[in-house]
Amino acid sequence: MISVEAAIPYLGGALAAGGVAVVLSRRREYLLRWCAWAVAVPVVVAAIHAGPAGAAALAALAGAACAVEYGGLTGLPRADRVVLALAAAVPPLAAWLAPAHLPRAIGAAALAVALVPLLAADADGGLRRLGLGVLGVAWFAPLAGVVLLGPVALALFAAVSVGDIAASFAGRRFRGPRLSPLSPGKHWSGTLAGAAAGLLVLAALEAFTVPLAVAVAAGAPLGDLLESMVKRGSGVKDSASWLAGAGGLLDRLDSLLLTLALALLLT
């Protein structure tokens, strides 16, 4: 894996190429997504370049924001959302301050979330609240990988981001068999194109290994399908609406979350 500094020209080139592509596409949706990516890339680069402390701060904030969106779209009560947001920030901070105790930290976070409906004596909706809360902790815990993987996490972020755009382009253009009933707008053509683009980014950043290739090729589409399943179960289209044209932060990080999880498991 090349250094963060050496990766900057590649990321800048990818941004420029993506900008040209979205202008040629004349689709407002792609332009807004590119603008969100143009803001996110410098932030992620700066945080990872700052070392474990910067990576932990960014990942903790992202985890808390995603937890709030997740709690909103699933209809969790306010108390559950607050505790889940705090719990989602625990794994990245633990990965920075006490990596040897990361499994205990994740377990404590899950226990804290599970205790909220239990202590509220919610006999009617307690099981649902507990299940959704623990799922949230497990879903956002891989953000600890931003700290543990360092520059590799930056390569995964770039690969997933470029792959997401390529998948959207190819899926709309070539269509073909649908990927899953969970996300009717996704096609195998887009999934394969996205995986190919992501692997090319890994190769360009000298981060191509079999485990990371599997993480990008499988984790990105599975992460997208996982969020689609949650949103369809909740009857909503986007996790939030504060990112113009891009929904919420969870809509942008869904693919990265499972990619990080697979990268941590396989490496």
pLDDT tens by residue, 230-239: 988 888 876 7
- Domain tally, the chain: 2
- Same domain for 264 and 178: yes
- Same domain for 84 and 31: no
- Same domain for 27 and 105: no
- Same domain for 261 and 169: yes
> What is the DSSP code string of 174-215?
H--SEEETTEEEEEHHHHHHHHHHHHHHHHHTT---HHHHHH
- Same domain for 68 and 24: no
Residue 19 is predicted with a pLDDT of 74
Residue 244 is predicted with a pLDDT of 56
Rounded to the nearest 5°, which phi and psi values hold at 262?
A: -65, -40
pTM of the predicted model, to two decimals? 0.92
Residue 121 is predicted with a pLDDT of 95
d(CA 254, CA 86): 19
State which of 149, 165, 184 marks the end of a domain. Answer: 149
Ranges of the chain with pLDDT below 50: none
- Same domain for 123 and 4: no
- Same domain for 56 and 46: no
Look up the domain containing 101 and give its range.
52-149
d(CA 14, CA 18): 6
State which of 99, 129, 149 marks the end of a domain. Answer: 149
State which of 126, 149, 172 marks the end of a domain. Answer: 149
